[in-house]
């Protein structure tokens, strides 16, 4: 996934909401777009991490092997050091890499 190559911030920074709502025209819509994209990124990262950790799983682990599995620890540390999904989604939003479609409001009478 391209998330590993992301240059998004790894720490929390303060953002100006007026800058974020330029593309949508509404701060609440911008937050919804960002949160949905962050959920997509988080799901992808979680599936990727689970698949990698499954490679190291064995059915006959004893207690010492569980605590000494260095490969699993290194993979987990790598994913912990990645930028958070929210930071990645904000970066994609600011770089105009996101596409979204707003649902039309239909009222039936």
Domain ranges of the chain: 23-94
For 3-28, the pLDDT digits (tens) are 666 777 777 788 888 788 787 788 88
Look up tokens 């911030």; give the residue.
Answer: 9
> Alpha-carbon distance 76 to 20, whole Å?
32
Q: What is the mean pLDDT of residues 79-108?
A: 82
What is the model's pTM?
0.76
Q: What percent of the chain has pLDDT over 70?
A: 80
User: For residue 94, is pLDDT > 70?
Assistant: yes
Q: Which long-range contacts (CB under 8 A, 24 or more apart) does 32-37 make?
A: 33/93, 33/98, 33/100, 34/86, 34/89, 34/90, 34/93, 35/86, 35/89, 36/100, 37/89, 37/92, 37/93, 37/98
């Amino acid at each position: 996934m391209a998330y590993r190559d992301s240059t998004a911030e790894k720490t929390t920074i303060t953002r100006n909401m007026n800058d974020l709502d330029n593309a949508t025209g509404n701060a609440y819509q911008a937050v919804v777009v960002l949160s949905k994209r962050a959920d997509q990124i988080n799901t992808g990262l979680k599936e990727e991490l689970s698949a990698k950790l499954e490679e190291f799983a064995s059915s006959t682990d004893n207690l010492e092997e569980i605590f000494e599995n260095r490969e699993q620890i290194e993979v987990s540390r790598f994913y912990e050091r990645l930028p958070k999904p929210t930071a990645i989604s904000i970066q994609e939003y600011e770089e105009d890499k996101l596409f979204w479609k707003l649902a039309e409001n239909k009222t039936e009478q």
